Structure 1
Amino acid sequence: MTMDVDLLRPGTVPISPDTVLWFEFLLNPSLLHSHISKPSPDPSPTDLIIKFMTINAEQNNDVKVIENDANDLKINVMSKWTYKNLALKILSLKVAAYLKWDLELLQKKLPLQMQLTLLQDLFYIAMDIVVEIPIVPENAPNNISDRDLFTLILYHRWLLRAIVYRALNNKQPKLFVHNAVIQETNYVASTINDEIIRKLELHATNSINFLNTVLQLNDLKPKVLSLDTFQMLTENSTEIKQNWDSVHSITEDELKCQVHYDLAVFHILKAEYQTAKYHISQARDLYNKLDTSTPMLYCNINKQYLDGYCLACEVPVENKAPNLTQQLLTSIKDQYTNILQILQADNIVREIPQVYRDNLELDIQGGLVNRKIIVARDLLLQIQCLNLVRKVVENETIIGDYVSEIKAAGSKGLEVFFWAFNGVLEKSSALDKQRIVRHLLYLVLMRDIDGLANKILTDANYASLFDATELEEIKKEAFPDDLDIPNLLLNNDWGIAPVDYTQKQKIGIFELEQRLILSYNPHEIRQILMEIVRIDNSSYVKPQWRINNFWEIPIPLQSVISSIPEGFLKDYSYILLAKSKELALAKDFPGSKTLLNIVENEVQHHAQSLNEANKLLMGGNNLIFKLLKLLNWESLLIEICYYLHAWPATNICDTQAVTVQCKQCLLTLQSTDQVLPRQEIIEYCTVFLLNMSEWDYLTSLEKQWSCFEFAAALSNVAKYKGQKFPKEAWDMVLAACKSNRDLPQKRSSSNSGSSGNSISRDSLINISSTFSRLRELTVLNISISLLARLHNILRDESSLELYTTYLNMWPASIPNAKLYNMRIISEYLFQLLSQALKYYPNNVPWLRLMGDLNFVLGYYESAMKYYLEAIIVASDLFTLPVRGQIDDLVYRRMIKCCAHLQCNTQAVVLCQFLDEVDYALAFKMAGNEQKNAAPNDAMDAYYHCIWDTTILEYLINLHTKRGEHHRKQLAIKVIGLLELNSNNNEEIQREAANTRKARFLRALAKQYVY
C-alpha cells in the first residue's frame, strides 16, 4: 500500500493492484481494521491518522457560535463540515481507538498540533461540542456520562503528558511526505509549539484538580471507547450516530493506576517531590494488583520506568535489593559512603555503566581541585585504580594517564594499585587473567614504575600468572645491571646506506600558498611571497594574487593594479587589498584600515625607489597618483563604515576630519579631469554628511548624481522642520512605493535628478540604502514620520492610524492611492523603526509607533510589548505619571490587544486607565472572562489591581450568578479594603490608585516584555 502518489488523481501514476487509496476506507470501512491489524502495516496506524488529518485540514471550514447565558455557559455549534470531513475525523478516531488511546505512541508519532486536533475531534464526536483546546468544559466527573468521563480524563492526561514530553524532547516529529505542499502544511514551527505548551501550562492546575477529583471517586466503572464505538457514515446518513454500547470495560484500579502515574511524572518534572512520591507509590501499589500477563486495555506503563520513578522518589520497589548502579547513585548522594566496596563488587560483576564510573572520577577530581568537597586523602587514587582494573578486565581503551598518578603517589600509589587488582584476582576468569598479565607486562616494560617488577616477583599470586619467558623479562627490569644489550643497538653503523629524502618543489609552494590564504599578518604575507619567489622564480607564470578565486577588490582598484607589471608589488598590493575587504566584511574595521595603510606606504616607497625607465614602464607618476587616490578613498570608506557600525560611540575617529574628507571626495565630482570615486564611496560620504547635520552643504550640491537627490531632499526638510512643505522628499518616496509595473525602465538622457513619479531606479535603490544608514535623530524622525503618514493615507482607516512626531508636515492625501505598494511601505517603516530603536532604545514616540504598527498588522502580543516599553520609559519604571506621552488611544489599543489575546481580565483593569472609565467595555470584557478565558490571563491575580468600585460591584454580581464563590469572596474583600480607605483624602486615594496601577503594569511587563 502506498500513500506517496497524488491520490486525488490516481491515474497519474501506475498503481499496483494491491494498493488501497485513502478514499477506499470511506467507501468500505472494513478495510481499515484489516489493514491496521497486519503485523507491519505500511503505512502505519499513526501515518494513517496524519494522512486523514492532512486531507481534512485542506477542506476544513467550520463556524462556531458561542452563546453566553447569565447562569450557564453553553457552546452550540453550527457546523459546515461536509460528510467527507466528518468521515475522516471518525476514521482518525477509530485508528486511535485501535491503538488503545496510547498517548505515549501518539505523542512520539504525531506533531503537537495534530494531537490537539485529534482531541478536539474526540470532543466533537463524543460530547457533541466544539472546543478550542485548552478551553474545555469544566464538568464535575461524578455527574457525567461514561463517554464524557473517558474524553475528559484522556484530555487532562494528555495535557500533563504534553508538557512533560515537550520539556524532555524539544524536537518535533518529522513527517516524511514526498508531496512538498503537504509537507509544508504539516510543518509547525517550533515557536508555535512553544506557544501551545505555554498555554497548556497555564491550564495544568485545572487538569491536576480534575484528575485528583477522579481519583477520589469510588465504585467507578470506567469505559474505554473502542474501534467499533465509532460508526462510519454511509451514503444514506443524515446525522452522526455512534454505538456507545460497544465499549471496553476496565477496572477502577487500571484507570487510577494510569492517572496516578501521569500525575507523578508531571510533579517530578516540576520538582514537587512529596506530591510525586504519593502518586508514584499509589501507582506502584495498583500496578502490582493488576494482571500484567496479558496486554491491558488502558493502562500503558513501562515497569522499568515505574521502578525508576519509584527510586527517584525514594519509594521501595518490591522489596528488592538495589542493584550496584542504584547503590552507586545512592552512595554519591550520601557523600560517597561505601563507594569503594561498590566499585570493587562491580569489578567482578561489571554491571555499572562505565560512563557512571568515569563521571564519578571526574566529579571527585573537580571537587578536590575547586575545594568544593572534602573526602579521604587517598579516595581519588583508589577510585582511579579501581576504574583502571575495570577497564583492563573489560579490555577497554584506557583514557587518562593513571600511571602518572600512581608514580606521583610513590610507594602508596603502588600499594593502592595492587590492592585494586587483588579484589578481582581470585574470581577472574582465564581471559581476565590473560588481560591482567598483558597490562602488567606493558607497565613493567614500557612505563618504568619503580618497584612494580619487584612486587610481581615477590608476590606468588602474581608471579604464578606469568610463564618462564615473561618472568625472565620482568627479572631483567627488576635487576637492570644484568641486562645484556646487543652490539647492534650499541653501534650506529648498521651497514645500511643513508637515503636522502627530498620534497617536491610544487608541494612546498602549495603549502606556502595555503599559509598565504590563511594569514592576515602583512609581515608574514611579505615573507611568504618572498619565499615563493626564492623557491621558484618562475612562479609568476601564475601570479600569486590569482591563487584564491574568492579574493576580490573594487573594480577601479583592480583596473589600476592590473596595469602594474607582474611582480612582488602587484601580488602584495592585491592580496592585502583583498584581505582588507574580508576584514571589513567581518566588521574588523581597524584591521582593514591597517592593511590599506600598509599598501599605501608600500606604493609610495616603491615609487620613490624606481628610476625613470621603470616609471615609464609603470605608466609614470599618473598611475601612482591614481592608485594612491583610490586607496585614500577606500580608507575613508572604512572610517565611515566603522563610525556607522559603532554608533553612538563618537570617539573612534575625528569626525571633523572625516567630514572634510567627505566634502573633498564629493567635490571631485564637479571636475572631469580627476579620478572619480566609485559609487559606493559617494553614497557613504553623502549619508555621513547627512548624519553630521551638514544640511546646508547637501542642499547646495548639484543634483547630477542620483545619490544626492534623496539626501538633499531630507536635508531640506531637516533645515526647516515643518515650516514649509517638503515636496521633493515626499515625491521621491511616493515613486519608490509604486507598483513595479509603474516604474520607469531607464534613466533620462540628461542623467539629471528628477522629481515626481519619473524617478530613476538608481534613486529608488538609494532611498532604501539611505534609510539603512541613517543615525541622526532629526533625520530619523523625519523619515519615520514620512513613512507613517504615507501608511495612514494608504490604509485609510481612522481606527488604525499611526501616531508620531512631525506627521502634520506631510500631505493628508495622495491621488491614485491604488498605484502604491502598501507592503513596501510597511517593510520600510518596520525596518527603519527597528534600526532607530537599536540606537535610541528610550525614544517613547518611536516605541509607541512600533506598538501601533504591530497593532495595525495584527501582531497583538508584540504591540503590547512595545506599548509597555513606552510606558516603562515614560514613567521611569512606573514611578512617574505618563500623561502627555501615553494617552487614552494607547490604553484603548492595549485593551483591544488583550481582547484579541483573550486576556479579558487584563482588559478590564486597563479600562480604569482611561480618563473616563469605559464601564460598558469593562463589563463586556468581564462577561467574556469565563467564556473565552485564555491560558495567559489569570483573573484572580489581577483582582487586587482594580480600584474602581463600580467594576468590583459588577464582578460580585456576575460571580454570584455563575456560582463562582471563591472569586466573589475575593472581589468582596477587595471592595471592603477600598471602602475602609474611603475616609482618606483625595490625594491619598489617588496615590493608592497609582500604586495599584504600577503593580498591574509591572505584572504586564513581566508577561510581555521581560
Structure 2
Amino acid sequence: MDVDLLRPGTVPLSPDTTLWFEFLLDPSRLEKHLENPVGDPSPTELVSKFISVSEGEKDGPPQELPPGLGFLPPPLQNYNRRGKCLKILAVKVAAYLKFDLDLFENKIPLNVQAIVLKDLLDAVSSDLVHIPDHQTLNLDELEPHALFAVFLYHRWVLKAYVSSTINGKPTKPNSVMMNDLPCEDVNEAASERSLSILKKLSVTKMPRGMMMPKLATFTVLSEYVADVVHKWDVGLPISFNQFRCQVLMDIASYLMLRESYKDAQVTLRECQFAFDLWKREPEIDAYCTVTTDLISGYCIAVGITPNNFTPSLNQEFHNLVQDQYLSINRVVERDNIMKEIPLMYRDCLELDVTSEVANGKVTVYRDGLVQVQASNVVRRALHGGCWQGTRVTPSALHKALAAVIPRATDIERRRLKYLVGETLVNGDLPTCREMTDLPSTRALLTEDELSLAMEADYNDPIPHALSSSDMDVESPDETHRSPSLELAAVERVLTSSYDAHDLKQAVTKVMILDPTINMATLNKNWEIPIPINNLVLSLPAGFLQNYCFLLLAKAYELDQLKNFRQARAMMASVRDEINRAMMASLRDENSQVVAKANQFIMWEILLIDIHQFHAEWPEEKYMDIVNLSNRCIALMHKSEGCLPRFSLKEECALTLLNTCHWAALIAAPVSKHSVLMLDLYPAIAAACEDIMHQKKISPEIWDKLITMFATNQKRRDSLPVVTTALCSIAEINAIAIVISLLARLHNILIDQPQMELYAQNVHLWPNSIKTPSQYNLKSVTEIIFEVLTMALSRYPNNVHWLKLLGDLHFVNGHHMPALRSYIEAIIAATDCFSRPLHKNLVEDHIYKRMIKCCSTLQCHTQAGILCQFLDEVDYTTAYKSLSEAGCSDSMDSYYDCIWDVNILEFLINLHTKRGEHHRKQKVIRIIGLLELNSNNNEEIKREAENLRKGRFMRAMAEQYLS
C-alpha cells in the first residue's frame, strides 16, 4: 500500500516528519527543516507538494493566456493568499537547492519544474511571465536577479527538450505524481527560441553582473505582511566566466542533439576557454556544474582534443581499432599489465583481425595477428580464464610474457607457469626445444620442472584396464604399472561405462584388486530407493551384491538422463543376473528372494515406462497406453504380499489420471497412511468424473487443496510437493479443474472485484472460505503461475489459459507480460489473424485491462485505439489517452487503425488547436475514406472495422512479441 507521508492521518509520523501546512503556520521552520539531513519530506518532495497544493488555492477561473510556450501556469495574482505563500515557499526551497536543473530533472516532475521557474520569473517581474517577449528584452539593462531568472528558464527549456528527446518522455518520479497539473509542452520551436536568447546572453557583457537568489532572498506572506518585497541584494554573485561557461555548455549539448557538430565544435572551444578563465578566479561558492571531465567528453565526441588530455588505455584501444589496427600490439601488451580493457573487447579484436586479414580487407605488419593472439593468451591466463586451444609461436608468446613477468603477483606467476608448462607438455618437439631456450620460460620454470615437462607422455592404463592379459600374467612388452593406478583405472571404467559386459568385467577385476570396496562410495550421486537397496543387501555379499548395486545405480542414472531404452536393459540385466546366480542352488529361501527380486524389478521397469510416457507426452509414439494403464491398475489394487513403495504408487496414480482411467483410480484401495499425492490425484479424478457426468462436483478436492495454503500448515514441505504434483498433470480436463479451483481461491483471498482472475468452471467452487486471512495469497499466486506455465507448454494455443495468464500478470502489476499474454490469446483465437476478431472471442474486461496496461506503459495512442474494441466505445478514456503529449508508441502511425468517426473528428480538432498541421491532414485523409462513410451499410462498416482491428493487432504483436 502506497502511503503519502505528506498527507496527514495515513500513518504514525516519525519525529523528523513535518506536514506541509506547518510551514504555512511558521515559515521560519523551513530553513531548520532543510538543514536536517534526514528531514522528511525531502526538499524535492516539498517543492512538488507545495506546488500541487497551491494549484487548488485559486480565487477564480484562470485567465486566458496569450500564445506562448505550450501550457503555462497562471501568474500569482490568480491565487489566494495561501496559494501565493505556498508558491513562494516552493521557490525558496528551489533556491536552497541552488536551482540545480540536473537535480530537478531526476527528482521533480516536468510540469512542477515549469511552474517553479515561472513563479521565479513572476516574483522578479510580472513582465517576464510572457515568454515570447524575452526576445525583445534589452539584456544589458536587466537587474542581476532578473538576468539570472531569464537565463535559468531558457537553460531549463533546452535541457528539458534534450532530455525528453533522448529519453522519449519526461521524467516523473514515483513518489509524487502530478497528473492533475498542466503539463509544459517543450517543443522544437520553443527550444529554438530559447537557443537564440541564450546565444544573446553568451555575448552579453552584464554590466550589472548576475545574482542567483538564495533562500533568504524571498519574503513569505503572513498575516502582517500583505505585499511582499523580496531582498534581491541577498544572493550569490555569478562571475561572467562562470555564467558563460555554463550557458555555452548547454548550447553545445543542444547543438549536438541537432547534429550541428561544426557549430558545437566552435561553442565547445569557447566553453573550454571560459572554463579556464573561471578556474583562475578566486574560489567562491560556484553555481556552474561544468567539470573538466564533462568538457573532455563532449570535445572527444565532436573530434576536438581537450587541453591537457591524456586518453585512457580503453580510448587508445578503440582509436587504433578505427585506424585499421596499426600499433594495436603495444596497447594490448600494456593492457596485460594494467588490465583496463574488458576481455570481451580483446576477444572481439582477435576475431575481427583474423576475419579481415583472411578477407584481405586489412593489411597488418608481419606477425601482427600472431602477436595479438599471444597477448590474448597471456591476458586470459592472468585472469584465470580458459586459454587452451590457441596455438601461438614461442617467440610471440615470449614477447607477451616478457613484459608481464616482472610485474606479476604470486598468483599470476603460478598461472603463467601453468601456461608455459602446458605448452611444453602438449607441444611438438621443435616447439618445446625452442620454448626451453627462451628467458621467459626459464624465469618461470626450474630445471627439474623443465625436465619433467619434456619427458614422454605416460601410458594411460585405461585401455588395458580390462584386458585378459592383466587378469592372468602381465605381458612382457608392457611396463610395470602401480596397483593403485590399475585400481584407479578400473574404478574409472565403473563410473564412466554403461555397457553391462564391461561393467561385469570391471567388477570382477576390482574385487580381485580390492575385495572390501564399497560401490556406493565411487559416485556420491548414486542412490537407489530403500526397498531396492534392502533387496540388494539380501543378496550374497561379494560380486553379486556389488554388480547388482552398480547396474541398478546406472539404470536410475540413465532414467534421469531420459535414456529409457538403455535403463530398461540395465534393469533386465539385474533380473537375469539374480536369476542365474540364485537359481544355481535350489534352496527355498533363494527362490523367495528371486520371486521378490523379479517383482521389484518389474515394478521399476514399469516406473521407467511411466517416465517415458510423461516425457513423450502427447506424442506417445512407441508406448502401449492400454498395457501401461493395466499394469498401473494392477499395482494400485495390490494389497497383500510384496507391496510397492509409495512413490511408485504416486506415479501410477498420476498415469491413470493422465490416461483418463478415472474410475479405476477412484476405486483403488485407500492407503492407511495419508500420502499427499495419493490423496490428491483421486480427488481430481473424482471431480473430472462429476463434470463429465454433469453431476454436482464433489468438494473433496477443494477441502484437500486449500488446507495446503494455510499459514499454520505444519508440513512446510507441502507446498513444493503440491506444486510438483499439480505441474505433473498432463490431461487437459484435469488441468482445467485445478486451474479453476486455484483461480477461485485466489479471487476469494484477494477480495477485490477489479483484480479477479477469469477462468473456466470457476463457478463450480464455493464462494467463500472461513477465516481467509489464515491463507497465503502469495503461495496461491505462485502455484497458479507454475501450473499455467506448464499447462501452456503442453497446450500452447489454449485461449482461456492465455487470457488467465494475462490476468495473473495484470493482477501482479506486470503490464508488459500481461499485454504479451493477451495478444497471444488473440492470435490463438483468430488463428494468427486469419479470422475476424469478433466480440465473442475476447471479452470486454480483457480489452479494459489491455487499455490499462498500455496507459501504464505510456503507450497512450494504443490505449485510445483499444477503446474502440469495447462493446460500448469508451470515448472519455479514448479522448484522454489521445490527448497525452508524452507517448512511448508510434502515435500518428496508428491513425489508420481507427474506424470510429467520432474519435477521428476529435483528433482533427486536437491537432488544429495544437497547430500540428501535418497530423491534422493525415486524419482528414483517413476520415475521408469511402469505407468509413457513416451512410455505408452494416456489412461494409463491419468489414472496415475487422480490417483495422487485424492491422492494429498485427502491429501490437510485432512490437510486444518480437
Report the TM-score, using the length of structure 2 for normalisation. 0.63
CA drift at 1:836: 1.4
Q: For residues 820 and 687 of structure 1, do their structure 2 counterparts lie closer, same or farther at Cα, with a shift above 3 Å needed?
A: farther
User: Out of 575, 596, 601, which is 2:573 matched to?
Assistant: 601
1: CA distance, partners of 2:891 / 2:719: 51
* Cross-structure match for 2:538: 563
2: CA distance, partners of 1:732 / 1:822: 18
* Cross-structure match for 1:486: none
* Cross-structure match for 1:781: 736
Is residue 224 of structure 2 the alignment partner of residue 249 of structure 1? Answer: no
Secondary structure at the counterpart of residue 576 of structure 2: helix
Is residue 640 of structure 2 the alignment partner of residue 672 of structure 1? Answer: yes
Code of the aligned partner of 2:544: L
Is residue 775 of structure 2 the alignment partner of residue 821 of structure 1? Answer: yes
CA drift at 1:857: 4.7
Q: Is the 8 Å Cα contact of residues 815 and 856 (structure 2) preserved in structure 1?
A: yes
CA drift at 1:608: 1.2
The Cα offsets for residues 489-536 of structure 1, whole Å up to 9 and x where unpaired, read as: xxxxxxxxxxxx999977876787688667777677666655544444
Q: For residues 717 and 611 of structure 1, do their structure 2 counterparts lie closer, same or farther at Cα, with a shift above 3 Å needed?
A: closer
Secondary structure at the counterpart of residue 359 of structure 2: coil
Secondary structure at the counterpart of residue 774 of structure 1: coil
1: CA distance, partners of 2:534 / 2:341: 63
User: Out of 217, 220, 226, which is 2:201 matched to?
Assistant: 220
Code of the aligned partner of 1:778: N
Secondary structure at the counterpart of residue 632 of structure 1: helix
1: CA distance, partners of 2:688 / 2:373: 76
User: Out of 811, 820, 825, which is 1:870 matched to?
Assistant: 825
* Cross-structure match for 2:22: none
Q: Is the 8 Å Cα contact of residues 370 and 393 (structure 2) preserved in structure 1?
A: no
CA drift at 1:590: 0.7
Q: Is the 8 Å Cα contact of residues 127 and 148 (structure 1) preserved in structure 2?
A: no
Is residue 661 of structure 2 the alignment partner of residue 694 of structure 1? Answer: yes
* Paired residue total: 786
2: CA distance, partners of 1:335 / 1:379: 11
Deviates most, 937-946 or 292-301 = 292-301
The Cα offsets for residues 139-171 of structure 1, whole Å up to 9 and x where unpaired, read as: 9976798569748856975996899999xxxxx
1: CA distance, partners of 2:584 / 2:165: 82
Q: For residues 193 and 629 of structure 1, do their structure 2 counterparts lie closer, same or farther at Cα, with a shift above 3 Å needed?
A: farther
Secondary structure at the counterpart of residue 885 of structure 1: coil
2: CA distance, partners of 1:343 / 1:826: 57
Is residue 102 of structure 2 the alignment partner of residue 116 of structure 1? Answer: no
2: CA distance, partners of 1:405 / 1:258: 51
Q: For residues 687 and 209 of structure 1, do their structure 2 counterparts lie closer, same or farther at Cα, with a shift above 3 Å needed?
A: farther
Is residue 941 of structure 2 the alignment partner of residue 994 of structure 1? Answer: no
Q: Is the 8 Å Cα contact of residues 772 and 835 (structure 1) preserved in structure 2?
A: yes
2: CA distance, partners of 1:535 / 1:148: 95
Is residue 799 of structure 2 the alignment partner of residue 844 of structure 1? Answer: yes
Code of the aligned partner of 1:731: E
Q: For residues 156 and 998 of structure 1, do their structure 2 counterparts lie closer, same or farther at Cα, with a shift above 3 Å needed?
A: farther
Deviates most, 146-155 or 867-876 = 146-155
Q: For residues 448 and 971 of structure 1, do their structure 2 counterparts lie closer, same or farther at Cα, with a shift above 3 Å needed?
A: closer
CA drift at 1:937: 5.0
Q: Is the 8 Å Cα contact of residues 317 and 331 (structure 2) preserved in structure 1?
A: no
* Cross-structure match for 2:702: 733
Q: 1:688-727 maps to which residues of 2 (within 5 A)? A: 688-704=655-671, 707=677, 709-719=679-689, 721=691, 723-727=693-697
Is residue 631 of structure 2 the alignment partner of residue 661 of structure 1? Answer: yes
* Cross-structure match for 1:907: 863
* Cross-structure match for 2:271: 286
* Cross-structure match for 1:372: 359
1: CA distance, partners of 2:308 / 2:769: 87
User: Out of 843, 867, 880, which is 1:927 matched to?
Assistant: 880
CA drift at 1:872: 1.8
The Cα offsets for residues 327-356 of structure 1, whole Å up to 9 and x where unpaired, read as: 9977865767xx58x9899999x9999989
Q: Is the 8 Å Cα contact of residues 851 and 867 (structure 1) preserved in structure 2?
A: yes
Code of the aligned partner of 1:689: L
The Cα offsets for residues 460-496 of structure 1, whole Å up to 9 and x where unpaired, read as: xxxxxxxxxxxxxxxxxxxxxxxxxxxxxxxxxxxxx
Q: 1:756-771 maps to which residues of 2 (within 5 A)? A: 768-771=723-726
Q: For residues 632 and 902 of structure 1, do their structure 2 counterparts lie closer, same or farther at Cα, with a shift above 3 Å needed?
A: same
CA drift at 1:570: 3.0
1: CA distance, partners of 2:748 / 2:349: 71
Is residue 882 of structure 2 the alignment partner of residue 895 of structure 1? Answer: no
| Gap runs ≥5 in structure 2 | 1-13, 17-27, 65-70, 120-128, 135-145, 177-182, 203-208, 400-428, 438-478
2: CA distance, partners of 1:346 / 1:708: 65
Q: Is the 8 Å Cα contact of residues 95 and 215 (structure 2) preserved in structure 1?
A: no
Is residue 955 of structure 2 the alignment partner of residue 1003 of structure 1? Answer: yes
Is residue 905 of structure 2 the alignment partner of residue 953 of structure 1? Answer: yes
Q: For residues 631 and 206 of structure 1, do their structure 2 counterparts lie closer, same or farther at Cα, with a shift above 3 Å needed?
A: farther
Code of the aligned partner of 1:255: Q
Q: Is the 8 Å Cα contact of residues 722 and 806 (structure 1) preserved in structure 2?
A: no
Q: Is the 8 Å Cα contact of residues 583 and 589 (structure 1) preserved in structure 2?
A: yes
2: CA distance, partners of 1:193 / 1:819: 34
2: CA distance, partners of 1:652 / 1:852: 39
* Cross-structure match for 1:641: 611
Report the TM-score, using the length of structure 1 for normalisation. 0.61
CA drift at 1:960: 5.3
2: CA distance, partners of 1:549 / 1:278: 71
Q: Is the 8 Å Cα contact of residues 126 and 151 (structure 1) preserved in structure 2?
A: no
Q: Is the 8 Å Cα contact of residues 281 and 310 (structure 1) preserved in structure 2?
A: no
Q: Is the 8 Å Cα contact of residues 702 and 765 (structure 2) preserved in structure 1?
A: no
Secondary structure at the counterpart of residue 637 of structure 2: helix
Percentage of matched positions with identical amino acids: 26
User: Out of 553, 561, 571, which is 1:588 matched to?
Assistant: 561
Q: For residues 716 and 283 of structure 1, do their structure 2 counterparts lie closer, same or farther at Cα, with a shift above 3 Å needed?
A: same
Code of the aligned partner of 1:659: S
Code of the aligned partner of 2:271: L
* Cross-structure match for 1:438: none
Q: For residues 535 and 226 of structure 1, do their structure 2 counterparts lie closer, same or farther at Cα, with a shift above 3 Å needed?
A: farther
Q: 1:127-526 maps to which residues of 2 (within 5 A)? A: 146=148, 150=152, 153=155, 157=159, 214-217=194-197, 218-220=199-201, 246-249=235-238, 251=240, 253-260=244-251, 262-263=253-254, 274-275=259-260, 279=264, 282-290=267-275, 291=277, 293-294=279-280, 297=286, 310=299, 313-314=302-303, 333=322, 339=326, 362=350, 366-367=354-355, 371-374=358-361, 379-381=365-367
CA drift at 1:848: 2.0
Secondary structure at the counterpart of residue 912 of structure 1: helix
1: CA distance, partners of 2:347 / 2:818: 48
Q: Is the 8 Å Cα contact of residues 256 and 283 (structure 1) preserved in structure 2?
A: no
2: CA distance, partners of 1:718 / 1:829: 19
2: CA distance, partners of 1:347 / 1:849: 58
2: CA distance, partners of 1:679 / 1:401: 57
| Gap runs ≥5 in structure 1 | 1-7, 11-25, 34-47, 107-113, 130-138, 167-191, 197-202, 407-416, 418-444, 454-500, 747-760
2: CA distance, partners of 1:62 / 1:551: 69
Secondary structure at the counterpart of residue 651 of structure 1: coil
1: CA distance, partners of 2:774 / 2:697: 17
* Cross-structure match for 1:169: none
CA drift at 1:601: 0.9
